[in-house]
Amino acid sequence: MANVAVVGAQWGDEGKGKIVDWLSERADVVVRFQGGHNAGHTLVIDGKTYKLSLLPSGVARAGKLSIIGNGVVVDPWALLKEIETVKAQGIEITNTNLCLADNAALILPLHGELDRLRERMRGEGKIGTTGRGIGPAYEDKVARRAIRVADLADPDALPALIAELLVHHNALRRGLGATEVEARALEAALREIAPRILPFATNVWARLDDARRRGRRILFEGAQGAMLDNDHGTYPYVTSSNTVAAQAAVGSGMGPGAIGFVLGITKAYTTRVGGGPFPTELDDEIGRSLGEKGKEFGTVTGRPRRCGWFDAVLVRQAIRVNGIDGIALTKLDVLDGFAEIKVCAGYALGGETVDHLPAGRAAQAAVTPIYETFPGWTESTKGARSWAELPATAIKYIRRIEELIGAPVTLLSTSPERADTIMVADPFAD
């Protein structure tokens, strides 16, 4: 059976949590492969809502192994807090159903402080980070000064590692007018957290290789979305990791051949959080209506999301960059009741038509959408579980989206509830 990588095909918040949870019934292992606790996945199961950040969405399924891969930057305090939160909701988390890559880099308190300091200094030009230290932690990882999970098992080495780290960070903090970090306090905090984190730590690449060899089905779960990718997104208004499907292999310690099917998640409209270009954004009553009906507030930050019509240009680009085989179209029910619905089929730029989002910042800000207009539908699609339950105009809308993006709809979600999903094709099938 094929292993499946699930990635966002817009700017994140596409509903990956529900889709991964739904697919995890068919999987044996669920792997989170990038990002940090800036991600937010909401699961609604039997009327109960679970909000996850670091934990893979598979934790809500009994008998599944959940893995936090080496591509994730891990705030150990946030992870333990999240574990306690879901435990209080009835989900038991132990080292038998959750593994943490021992070569994953840690997010420390100084990373969050630096993140927030920088955003304040940017003023009107701020990127819109969550302020949780993800970017600074990835910077330390790339610069080879990060403290990793495995380092917690060697307390005698911690003072030297911390000293090397603080040479850089305290120089930055002096320049930003912030107080320096005290090495002993940071060491004490890491020594205290170590015995609570280390029971989850292991070489997950070996666990995954063993699972693959035994024919276990593996589900790779991405965070954010393709247009927030550090290379392929709307730079610099992006996250600090690679969010595309190729990162599933790198961020888990498996070869690219381990991924059989790439499923892209996309809303039936478009949203984005924070700053940056957004060609189809609707700063009007329709945009506000989409936000209200779709409950468009960040799972982690609570920030309202910017809303707009479906951007087929953007999604088509994401499909090509990720090698997406099929899409899961979510939140179709939010479009119920609109008299007409628009889809961006191309961009106008400098008197010409372009079929992709340019890399240049000025060009990204200057493109304007070229729309196709469709009749809406008055019937409710909420909770539909078969094509027969959908209005003909809704089906026509979906079919046109498939044509414009160049990929089929594999799954269709009609509410946040796990069961309200129409499967057109099984991504796990060979």
Which amino acids are annotated catalytic? 13, 41
Q: In 10 A of CB 393, how many CB atoms?
A: 15
SS3 content of the chain, % helix, strand, coil (to 5): 40, 20, 40
Structure tokens that stand for 39 in this block: 């991600």
CA 313 to chain centre: 20
Closest listed residue to residue 208, CA positions, set 69, 22, 74 = 69
Quick check: 337 and 378 in contact, CB under 8 A?
A: yes
d(CA 231, CA 227): 9
Nearest C-alpha neighbor of 416 from the set 293, 263, 264: 293
How many whole angstroms separate alpha carbon 12 and alpha carbon 271? 8
d(C-alpha 36, C-alpha 242), whole Å: 12
- The H-assigned helical ranges of 214-323 are 247-250, 285-293, 312-322
**Structure-block tokens of residue 145:** 């000064």
Provide the 3-class DSSP secondary structure of residue 141.
helix
| Calpha distance 311→277 (Å, rounded) | 12
Coil/strand/helix, residue 182: coil
Residue 110, CA distances (Å) to 80, 107, 166, 176, 416 in order:
18, 8, 10, 13, 36
